[in-house]
Amino acid sequence: MTHPLFAKHEDTLEHALAAIEARGYWSPFTEMPSPKVYGESANANAEATFKAQLNRTFELDQPSTGETVGAELSPYGFALGIRYPKADPDTLIAAAKAAEPAWREAGREAWIGVSLEILARLNQASFEIAYSVMHTTGQAFMMAFQAGGPHAQDRALEAVAYAWNELRRVPAEAHWEKPQGKNPPLAMHKRYTIAPRGLALVLGCCTFPTWNGYPGLFADLATGNAVIVKPHPGAILPLAITVRIARDVLRDAGFDPNVVTLLATEPDDGELVRRLAVRPEIKLIDFTGSTENGNWLERNAHQAHVFTEKAGVNQIVVDSVDDLKAAARNIAFSLALYSGQMCTAPQNIYVPRKGVHTPEGHFSFEEVAQALITAVEKLVADPTRAVELLGAIQNDGIDRRIDEARSLGPILIDSIAIDHPLFPQARVRTPLILKFDAAHDLPKFSGEWFGPISFVVATDSTEQSLELAGSIAEKHGALTLSVYSTDAAIIEAAHEASVRGGVALSINLTGGVFVNQSAAFSDFHGTGANPAANAALTDAAFIANRFRIIQSRVHVAPLAATAPVGQTA
């Protein structure tokens, strides 16, 4: 009775279930782009596939108007020229509704098995996805491979494991038998049917289309829903490849592939998305993007359960450090990594005006700022190495924001353009860091400046730094908070601030872990406890509302002995 794809991947599922419980390190997907794992020619083949796809129509056998859309630009300086089949939302809804009944009736083991098979095939396509992520988001190749491939697959698997953890707790049937004193007991057979919510909509972002898009997509699929995937117009290809693979697996498993469809669009698709998001058929929406759009969905798509990840202000509180150089190196790396275009990248770095203590002695505010500047300078000194860390700026808006930020205050280190050795037209920028003072600059640093823009903020004290960190996270949202202190009481106060701000805390990162990084199966990404996100990747709350339980009950013979007193055999 077990679905063959469930049986095929059951071992992976069991490991994932153990991992989300223990929350230690685990991953079934190799994060290094190793030829031994992925195949000797995997990289070359994927690059060739990517290049062959440029300036051609992406093949996807789903309902289409016959027209095509697509206007993606590589941040590395060229138009992709890829055209995608244009789809009418009404047609996609109708196709999904037609695919739904058989998908729903297939039941939980089929949903999980198909989801895991899609993941296995996505893993095999990691190099192809890496090139697609690199040339839509601007991530450097290594990050595009890791975050766009195996790490995104980890997050998807995590969602599938949470889904199964919820689904398996609902018994398929039960025997209910209530004693009635001297009378025969009342006995009923009960049957519990998992009812997926209906049609789901995944709204992708332009910086991490797969990493941020997969959890919702796989949570939906693993709980039996049909899904329309609407990528950001600037990063369609990674999700188009994903949808094509998902449809292949669905078809191979005997399902209508319209369980998953792609809605490719061009820029200025806001009105189309808003009309689609309030359609009565849409019961689940997963969104990553701007606060404005996320809030709109939360306030208007009442017919759906809406999961959002929006803007936030990530912060670092520097109180005292064991090793200033190591701390500065770690912070500089987290600022430079993908040019601060990670939703987890720090923005505000609070340093007491009177400086910080270290085992090497006292360092003034200016000296701490200088340590950070030096660390950034070292990271970006060699263009060939720098571009592999910085990647490229995803869009012109971020570039303009760097210009705008320059006038906000004194510049500690300016953002400069770097020539990419391989892509002369690539939009590569080093981090811009400004100096602020908490006494009068609060309005400038209490909102998000998405991109390679950060602020070293002088505060009266660590107490003020923590107060700012907690209150800004609480009011404006945050995905990460980081603290550096050698004082256990300050660490505990930072913990309190993180609880108040509803934000995950990293403590004294000076080594190979960076505040931007969030490890599947162990780190909860987002909390749902501040305005940056109304959900976490992934917890039970991310899953439990994606299905309902419909029960039936009918009388049956009691199991207990019911012979009336005095009856003879």
Q: Which residues bind a second copy (CB under 8 A)?
A: 21-25, 166, 169-171, 174-180, 186, 188, 190-193, 195, 197, 298-299, 302, 491, 495, 498-499, 502-513, 519, 522-524, 527-529, 536, 539-541, 543-545, 548-555
Closest CA to 207 of 133, 146, 263: 133
Helix axes 126-137, 108-124, angle to 10 degrees: 80
Cβ 522 to a second copy, closest distance in Å?
5
Output 358 or 506, the one with its CB closest to a second copy: 506
Output 184 or 409, the one with its CB closest to a second copy: 184
Cβ 546 to a second copy, closest distance in Å?
9
| Number of Cβ atoms within 10 Å of the Cβ of 4 | 12
Q: How far separated are the first and last CA of the chain, in Å rounded?
A: 41
The C-alpha atoms of residue 371 and residue 353 are separated, in whole angstroms, by: 15
Output 191 or 354, the one with its CB closest to a second copy: 191
Output 425 or 552, the one with its CB closest to a second copy: 552
Strand ranges for 361-493 from DSSP E? 361-363, 411-413, 417-418, 428-429, 432-437, 453-459, 480-484
Cβ 177 to a second copy, closest distance in Å?
5
Nearest-10 Cα torsion for 36, 40, 42, 43: 100
CB 492 within 8 A of CB 463: no
Cβ 528 to a second copy, closest distance in Å?
5
Output 307 or 350, the one with its CB closest to a second copy: 307
The C-alpha atoms of residue 203 and residue 216 are separated, in whole angstroms, by: 9
Q: Report helix, strand or coil for 456.
A: strand
Cβ 495 to a second copy, closest distance in Å?
6
**b/e burial code for range 102-115 (CB count within 10 A of at least 16 → b):** ebbebbbbbbbbbb
Q: Encoding tokens for residue 421? A: 């050795």
Cβ 43 to a second copy, closest distance in Å?
20
Output 408 or 519, the one with its CB closest to a second copy: 519
CB 400 within 8 A of CB 364: no
Cβ 559 to a second copy, closest distance in Å?
10
| Number of Cβ atoms within 10 Å of the Cβ of 417 | 13
Cβ 405 to a second copy, closest distance in Å?
30
Output 395 or 527, the one with its CB closest to a second copy: 527
Output 176 or 354, the one with its CB closest to a second copy: 176
Closest CA to 235 of 129, 92, 343, 337: 129
Q: Encoding tokens for residue 422? A: 């391989």
Output 374 or 510, the one with its CB closest to a second copy: 510
Cβ 229 to a second copy, closest distance in Å?
24
Strand ranges for 353-473 from DSSP E? 356-358, 361-363, 411-413, 417-418, 428-429, 432-437, 453-459
